[in-house]
Structure 1
Amino acid sequence: MNIWKAVGTIGGLTMVSRVAGFGREMLMSRIMGASAAADAFLVAFRLPNTFRRLFGEGAFSAGFVPLFSQRYHGEGGAEEAKKFSEEVLAVFLPTLVLFTLVFEVIMGPVVAAISGYGGEKLALATFLTRVTFPYLLLISLVSLFSGILNSLTRFTAAAFAPALLNLAMLGAMLLVPDGGAVTATALAIGVTVGGVIQLALLIAAARRAGISLRLRRPQMTPGVRQFVRVVIPATLGAGVYQISAFIDTFFLARIGTGAMSWFNYADRLNQLPLGVIGAALGTAILPQVSRHVGAGDNDKAARVQGEATELAMLLCLPAALALCVAAEPLIGALFQGGEFRPDDVRITALVLSIIVLGLPAYVLVKVLTPGFYSRQDTATPVKTAAFVLLANVVLNFVLIPPFGIAGLAAAIAIASWLNCVILYVILHRRGHFRIQGWLAGRVARQLVAAAAMVGALIAVRMVLGDWFTGGVAKRMIGVIAIVGAGMAVYFPLVWVIGGLDKDAFKALLRRKRPVEDAG
């Protein structure tokens, strides 16, 4: 499958989810503000969400997709791949149930240790986390079915599923717009309901693809042992960002009331390109790289990573620089109002302008890690993860005392680049992936176009002035103007000066949607 086509399918549907997520955050900022109840909910949402990214998405995809692909494209075909999936499910499901039950029992001390909260705020955060935590079990099962569908190059359902969570949470706030603990409780219920709906969608999509799994008795079969050997180290290797999220929560909760909320709203804008570009690239190229490596064609595997790097930088460079330059106008236009004050806008914008500087690096990590996972090498990312995690902790202790929440944002950005550089150097030394001349030339041209775009954004910001803090209509016009100006300068210029593969782009426009990508 064409890498541009795959990324377009996944990224487009992920964009639907991100737009729904923006609607959710815009409504939440006005109803909840940067309050103690908002902080408590965000802790409750972050705990299962972090475990979900660590176990469900990162480790599971890294271990499951290559092994499923090998069986599906091997002698056993679909039947052998289905048997492997059922064996993994038989062990995976009871493990998740046990893990969830244990955490429900010990939730109070866990939330207290992570948040540092006390009194009523701790009680509320603990209650909300108990309500949201079953989402981990549900969404981890979603990851299993997503892995199956992605291996079959059926990306649609898995890419759309996150939108259902955002819609469920939006519905909860529309039904209970009171604010405070009442709305926070409704949001927590919405999280778990969203997980149920997502799982139902993925099970139905897998059945349409001809994969209907039955529950087996748990057994450590050779296939499960192979899966576990890959997944255990991949839990750390693929989860450096998620493990860091626990550390970030620990520090954010101790910076003071509002810090969790400021970071959340800044990260919402940061997550837009991360989700649309990073997740799409990582999902699209892992099966392709695994297939080429399995066939012994390392040159083609490296070419896929090179094309993904080009596409990543084509989209990430303008996104990162635009969010950095236009942080305050965008935050003000999207979130200011109701309980979210101008001071909240200023602090949130500062966090955003710093954290997005690590955006290209984080997306590149999604491109580089398949070079290890496709070769069933999860030990190397583990070592890298451990080093970067330690560096992130040290940076937090060094930067937070003098700079507060801005220091935490800087630590995240620096750690992202450190992780990216280390992974690339290792792949380069092993001869698995190197930046070729054609790739370096295109990225250099992308930087030139991005610099011109920055100039245009600064000009628009100066001309429009207070439009970004005026009425709703003026704010929306301001956002459209600044986004439109950036795109109008960057993309035509990058086309003219040769910052992308024109032939691949033209082929994407001409090509009809493949039948096997439906569903």
Structure 2
Amino acid sequence: MALWRSTFIVSAMTMLSRILGLVRDMVLLNVFGAGKDFDTFVVAFRIPNFFRRLFAEGAFSQAFIPVLTEYKTTRLHAEVQILISRVFGCLLMVMSLLTLFAMIAAPVILYIYAPGFHHDPAKFALAADMFRLTIPYLLFMSLTAFASSILNSYGSFSTPAFAPVLLNITMIAAAWWLAPHMAQPIMALGWAVVAAGILQLAIQIPELWQKKLLIPPKIDFKHEGVDRILKLMLPALFGVSVTQINLLLNTIWASFMQDGSVSWLYSAERMTELPLGLIGVAIGTVILPSLSVRQAEQDQAKFRAMLDWAARVIVLVGVPASIALFMLSTPIIQALFQHGAFDLNDTRMTALALQCMSAGVLAFMLIKVFAPGFYAIQDTRTPVRVGLMAVAANAILNVVIIGFFKLIDWHAEHMALAIASSGSALVNAGMLYYYLHKRNIFRFGAHWKKLFMQFAVANTVMIAALYYGLSWYDGSASQWIRVAEVGALCIAGVIAYVAGLLLIGFRPHQLRH
């Protein structure tokens, strides 16, 4: 029950964040549209976001949590405090230097990240200014990830899970109230990002203080725990950030495509993050500390059982989420975003990208479960090997599919990037499972045959319900009517899916861990 309770807390906070995220994107796209200005913001914001996930939430958390959990389980509290102090000092120094370097080298970094912008000097200059403004977010969010990792290791998930809500609130406020008063309205979003980074760190400080874990930083790279974290972190830098690296490659490609391509991909990606955040990230966040405890206790049976439970929940939610996103792609984008500066063509292009990305939703979610299976046993090398395969698959698919689209004169080239992302995710998840199975860490046992059959029947019932329901959808209605109709379609799909599960004999006890 503890895992379910923790997962529910994270999922509920993530649900709040994702709902506000949808409102945020509706506001931003309505105010700014899917054109040059919003393209520059997406690129400028993705760069600190990329490094944040690469260094902080990604590799750092995956290396830090298992070591911290081991210290907490096997050593005195005073030793844990020393570890936290030394890690805090080293992280603060490294990320401060990286942030300073990024601000100085902004044009060079931007040229590497979005070389296509260089052909439009005004667009490139705006993106560089936006990047310099948003890069401090990297420092604040690195410290936020550090604080969140500590609290998660001590079984506290609500405050870290709530923190992203603040980003959405500040960006909505900036678009509505700050942007109209600025010479370049889009720059208001840059100020909102920096403010959100500070707020997300600040709200975690009281709980750290209460748990006597708010320890002054001290730089000591020779500390045993710091040394172990660094050795785990270096290969993990790549392994946990394959998705971000693929996004980087896709952004480079998209910068050469027609105006709006970056925004269309961003909007589609945001929709796929809804199920990923609600379940995939929630379970991935909760399961790593728990798996690390089982590893420290050398309880392999419970370790495997925990992975099996997580995979069951992911497949239960991930398959219908993928199908629903594909079937409802146009109504969803039209209902949420088609208003103001976001027109019918933007809806069509974004829906095409979402259909292509929906194929990878289940794989993205499974990665959040399979990868912690390796990090909990402090094996960061296997995910790196798998990550290399996934990045190679993404690069090859991009070249092949974009070449094919040019050959047939298809003017929605951004679809190729979405297809490549899904293909890369499938390679990543598939190879992670292969190595988990090969090393007898986790495998789909005999009980999965019955589960797969039950899930297949339930999804078939849901598909029939959505197909029938789509005939009632009115794309010409007002925005709020469209939102209500899409909401009704989603509710009908959930009811049909649950009814299908119950009719075929699925019961809640099959999700016990």
Give the TM-score of the pair, scaled to structure 2: 0.95
Alignment check: 8 A CA contact 1:44 1:129 kept? yes
Q: Does 1:441 align with 2:459?
A: no
Alignment correspondent of 2:261: 259
Q: How far apart are residue 500 of structure 1 and its match? A: 5.2
Counterparts of 1:8-23 in structure 2, within 5 Å, are 8-23=8-23
Partner Cα distance (1:112, 1:181) in 2: 25
Against the structure 1 CA distance between its residues 180 and 492, is the aligned structure 2 distance closer, same or farther, given a 3 Å change threshold? farther
Alignment correspondent of 1:490: 497
Given residue 495 of structure 1, which amino acid in structure 2 is its aligned partner? L
Against the structure 1 CA distance between its residues 192 and 243, is the aligned structure 2 distance closer, same or farther, given a 3 Å change threshold? same
C-alpha RMSD over aligned residues:
1.6
Q: How far apart are residue 489 of structure 1 and its match? A: 0.3
Given residue 479 of structure 2, which amino acid in structure 1 is its aligned partner? V
Alignment check: 8 A CA contact 1:10 1:156 kept? yes
Partner Cα distance (2:114, 2:499) in 1: 47
Alignment correspondent of 2:46: 46
Against the structure 1 CA distance between its residues 329 and 196, is the aligned structure 2 distance closer, same or farther, given a 3 Å change threshold? same
Partner SS for 2:34 = coil
Q: How far apart are residue 292 of structure 1 and its match? A: 1.2
Q: How far apart are residue 473 of structure 1 and its match? A: 3.4
Counterparts of 1:243-392 in structure 2, within 5 Å, are 243-392=245-394
Partner Cα distance (2:128, 2:456) in 1: 46
Alignment check: 8 A CA contact 2:73 2:296 kept? no
Counterparts of 1:69-80 in structure 2, within 5 Å, are 69-76=69-76, 78-80=77-79
Given residue 9 of structure 2, which amino acid in structure 1 is its aligned partner? T
Against the structure 1 CA distance between its residues 59 and 350, is the aligned structure 2 distance closer, same or farther, given a 3 Å change threshold? same
Alignment correspondent of 1:113: 112
Partner SS for 2:321 = helix
Q: Does 1:476 align with 2:478?
A: no
Alignment correspondent of 1:511: none
Alignment check: 8 A CA contact 1:332 1:469 kept? no
The structure 1 residue matched to 2:233, chosen from 223, 231, 234, is 231
Alignment check: 8 A CA contact 1:32 1:180 kept? no
Against the structure 1 CA distance between its residues 169 and 398, is the aligned structure 2 distance closer, same or farther, given a 3 Å change threshold? same
Alignment correspondent of 2:94: 95
Alignment check: 8 A CA contact 1:32 1:179 kept? no
Partner SS for 2:442 = coil
Alignment correspondent of 2:160: 158
Q: How far apart are residue 342 of structure 1 and its match? A: 0.4
Alignment correspondent of 2:466: 457
Give aligned-pair identity as a percent: 33
Aligned residues: 503
Alignment check: 8 A CA contact 1:4 1:504 kept? no
Q: Does 1:399 align with 2:401?
A: yes
Alignment check: 8 A CA contact 2:338 2:479 kept? no
1:264-293 per-position Cα deviation (integer Å, ceiling 9, x unaligned): 111111111111111111111111111112
Counterparts of 1:58-77 in structure 2, within 5 Å, are 58-76=58-76
Which sits farther off after the overlay, 400-409 or 238-247? 400-409
Alignment check: 8 A CA contact 1:124 1:181 kept? no
Alignment correspondent of 1:502: 509
Partner Cα distance (1:358, 1:476) in 2: 25
Counterparts of 1:204-219 in structure 2, within 5 Å, are 204-219=206-221
Given residue 67 of structure 1, which amino acid in structure 2 is its aligned partner? V
Given residue 442 of structure 2, which amino acid in structure 1 is its aligned partner? F
Partner SS for 2:75 = coil
Alignment check: 8 A CA contact 2:401 2:416 kept? yes
Q: How far apart are residue 317 of structure 1 and its match? A: 1.2
Q: How far apart are residue 503 of structure 1 and its match? A: 6.4
1:102-155 per-position Cα deviation (integer Å, ceiling 9, x unaligned): 111111121122212130000000000000011011001101111011111100
Given residue 445 of structure 1, which amino acid in structure 2 is its aligned partner? Q
Partner Cα distance (2:202, 2:29) in 1: 30
Is there any run of 5+ residues in structure 1 with no aligned partner, and where?
508-519
1:64-90 per-position Cα deviation (integer Å, ceiling 9, x unaligned): 1111111111132x3222211111111
Partner Cα distance (1:96, 1:500) in 2: 48
Partner Cα distance (1:202, 1:400) in 2: 45
1:240-276 per-position Cα deviation (integer Å, ceiling 9, x unaligned): 1111111111011111210011111111111111111
Q: How far apart are residue 456 of structure 1 and its match? A: 0.9
Q: How far apart are residue 60 of structure 1 and its match? A: 1.3
Q: Does 1:195 align with 2:197?
A: yes
Alignment check: 8 A CA contact 1:336 1:345 kept? yes
Partner Cα distance (2:16, 2:383) in 1: 31
1:148-175 per-position Cα deviation (integer Å, ceiling 9, x unaligned): 1111110000100011111111110111
Q: Does 1:408 align with 2:420?
A: no
Q: How far apart are residue 497 of structure 1 and its match? A: 2.2
Alignment check: 8 A CA contact 2:87 2:219 kept? no
Against the structure 1 CA distance between its residues 440 and 231, is the aligned structure 2 distance closer, same or farther, given a 3 Å change threshold? farther
1:406-465 per-position Cα deviation (integer Å, ceiling 9, x unaligned): 11111000110111111111111111111112234223311221121111111111122x
Partner SS for 2:55 = helix
Q: How far apart are residue 502 of structure 1 and its match? A: 2.7
Q: How far apart are residue 476 of structure 1 and its match? A: 2.2
Is there any run of 5+ residues in structure 2 with no aligned partner, and where?
406-412
